[in-house]
Structure 1
């Protein structure tokens, strides 16, 4: 099942990501690393898109209810070998 995520910018590369699961609202903070954006060859203006796709990527690998309180994109790069290539496929450079 494909989750829908609301992504709210908090400033300084931080985002609040919300997902509605059953009757619950699950919230996690995501930290968008400029290094990840550079690796994806995307402008900083695309951070919110990157965070949304990162949340979707993570939801495909674990239940949203199990998301950590804080998700750093650098950690996703370290844990998932295919993270950068998969996001690159989903978010081609302009």
Structure 2
């Protein structure tokens, strides 16, 4: 089933994200942090794209309804570690 991800920049490195997969929907606020933006594989990437690819990473690993209402990318990087950061780097260079 296709997943719809809509990212709305709110300013000051914050984004509102709406995710839909079939009947399941979630809304989350994501804060893009300098710790992630400064990583070599991420530097220079568009924030909206970072957020979109981060949510795509998450929905591959958990149901949409389990996406938390607020996500800080430093916390996410700490929780998932190198697999998240390496996957994000690949996703950002793939397109």
Where 2:3 maps in the other structure, the secondary structure is coil
Partner of 2:11: 11
Higher mean C-alpha deviation, range 30-39 or range 47-56:
30-39
Displacement of 1:64: 1.0
Gapped regions of structure 2 (runs ≥ 5): none
Displacement of 1:19: 1.3
2: CA distance, partners of 1:25 / 1:71: 16
Higher mean C-alpha deviation, range 73-82 or range 34-43:
34-43
Say if 1:30 and 1:51, in contact at 8 Å, map to a contact too. Answer: yes
Displacement of 1:7: 0.1
What TM-score, normalized by structure 2, do the two folds share?
0.85
Please identify runs of 4+ aligned residues in structure 1 that moved more than 3 A. Answer: 21-25
Q: How many positions carry a matched residue from both structures? A: 92
Deviations 1:45-94 (A, max 9, x none): x00000000000011111111111101111111111211111111112xx
Gapped regions of structure 1 (runs ≥ 5): none
Partner of 1:90: 91
User: What is the alpha-carbon root mean square deviation over aligned residues?
Assistant: 1.9
Say if 2:36 and 2:74, in contact at 8 Å, map to a contact too. Answer: yes
